[in-house]
Structure 1
Amino acid sequence: MAEEDDLFNSTSPPVVEWTWRSFSWTYFEALHLVSAVIGIIGNFLVIQVLNRRRAADSRSTDTLIGALAVADFLTSIFIIPLPSAATVPTTHLGKLYCKMTLPGFFLFVSFTSSIYILTTISVERFLAITYPLRFNQLMVKKRILGVVISLIWVTSIAVYIIFIATTIIVDPVNHRCTVSFISPAWKAVYGYFMFSFRLLFPCSVMLVTQVAIVCTLQRSSVRFRGQMAVSFHVKARNRVLKLMLIVILIYVLTWGPGQVSFLLYTIGVLPPSYVGSTLHTSIILLTTLNSCMNPVIYIVWFGEFRVALRQMFSCQKQDAASPFGDNVLESTSTTTAAQRSDSNI
């Protein structure tokens, strides 16, 4: 009997314990940390500026930019470099660890939420300029933006839960977190879906809505030619056009390489060794820059935001004007709405 027990014990698989990689500050970790610090500080300042005027006449754009700052703030926290496990036991805890850390679950949920909040800002501006009367009626229901923002977060979480539930496992041989698709077909389908979901669709929406805004403002400036109101339309048109180009270019330059490379990985162009490689790490680093760029854009582009920052640091009472220069666009939408009302009389 004892011999049988010894034989059983000798053939049973060894128990794998948690082991951790030694953490070293490489070039990539240092840049990740710099990006995280800039993003945390910058987005925190945006949140504080908006909180100071929350009790005043808060605009829908301010609410959405505040939500974008929260998403980017969380993203910046989640990109802080941390030690990772070298070997993971095939326990429930080990599997959960892999599913939460290998794809960067919290990181990419924040990433995706940030993308769609930015897309919502484009749609919101499109509605405000193109359909001002209906937009004003819609914005009377103040909870609608909260519902939209909540849906964005819920959808982002759901998409990544499906991903990690079906693809992230603990490799039973080397006991490391790994990506394992159900089949090559599922791998390709998921790649095309994520490419469309995270890049193609939101980028298309932003481009179409912003071009429509510029066209609407162009038509309005022609209608008001020779009147004082034309200055508002010309100024708004030029400002929106330039900001559109900046936002879309930064979005494509920081997000595009990651989404294209992930698509190439899922359809077999890039090998499995791509995950965790230097190229993969470099592309993720480029993606993280998107979260710290928005506060920089606000400071450089909006003089109103710089004024709001000075007022906050000097403990002065903040002006009623939006810190993001909405006044010109709102003047445009108000004038356009008035013109349409006059034409209906």
Structure 2
Amino acid sequence: MKLRPVFIVLAATVSISFAGSGSAIGRALLQNDLALSAGANAKAAPASASPAAKSQAFQNGVSLFNAKRFDEASAYFTNVVKSEPTNAEAYYYLATCQAMVGDEPAAKRLYEYVVKYFPDTPAGASSKQYLDAHATLNAKAAEANAATTQKQMKQLVSTIEGLKKSATTAPASLNSLVEVVRARADRPNVSAEAVAAIKGAVDKLPPSVKNFLWTHGVRIYVTPTVEDYSPGVKYQEARGYEGGTYKSCPAFYHNRKIVIAERTMDEGDESIRDAFPPNSMVNSLYHETGHAMDFCLDGISHSDEFKHAYLLDSAHVEPSVANTLKYYLQKSEDGQEECCAELIGLLLGQTERHTTEMRATFPLTLKLLKAKLGL
């Protein structure tokens, strides 16, 4: 709408300047279709001579353009093309003003006009560069959108097929999924109560989830401490623990392995802390199972639809719970992954770990995961 008066001016002036084809060009301008509707046999108009010959109105427009006052500059260039219909630079500046204020369609039409009727001028060459770059960007954007859509479809198909396959596979035995790690040093082994709690929780998982873990090679290790499972990781910093290492980490997921520790170690003297209650270990199991499903389904937490829901939810976190849920609101992709795992854990039956706050804070993300996983 902004450029309609300009098009009327162009139509009037060009009809005088281009014998035999002016009316066709005028109609094209009025129809916002310069390149396709202009007369096929129209000849390029001679551009105005040197910059010194430009009018004061043109110079004023350039000054305003350089000052980034594009709307005001447009008014001057509109007057210039009315009085100087062969001033290629004025058309070019007018087009660029429209581009700078965000009216890309109008800018494109004007650049096309300059290329068509002033092809052998610097303005024509610059306009062509803009159009070529614009076409390249549009092509890349279309390609990126197509790739994103294809990736999302593949993820969805992978999710559905993976769960279907799991549901039809012969049920995995508890002993094939759960392995108990023995203590390496002079410390207690995992208690029978803890082992029973973990196996009981695995047994209660939906058959599709239990067999999904089995068919994707995920195994669960119940260990006295993380050091007993893997001595080499105890000095590594654990994500989200603010300087803490895996010595004080109660559970983790890595490389299709879920590790649940009954005890942790003191960060300072490495003394063994008291055992976690069995229900706490079960909640850790559900969370790490969420990580396993996220990983095996090609990263649900990194999909565009998950990011969209997560960002919408996290933008409305109540200040009163922001600190409580900071582990799931980490600024990096870690926050997305931890939130995804925790919400899947909730869907699997997790309790006592900010359940109410998570459900209230991430309703869109939870709804997405529930629909995507069929839980």
Which structure has the bigger radius of gyration?
Answer: 2
* Greater helix proportion: 1
Higher RCO by CA contacts (8 Å cutoff, separation 6 or greater)? 1
TM-score by length of 1: 0.22
TM-score by length of 2: 0.21
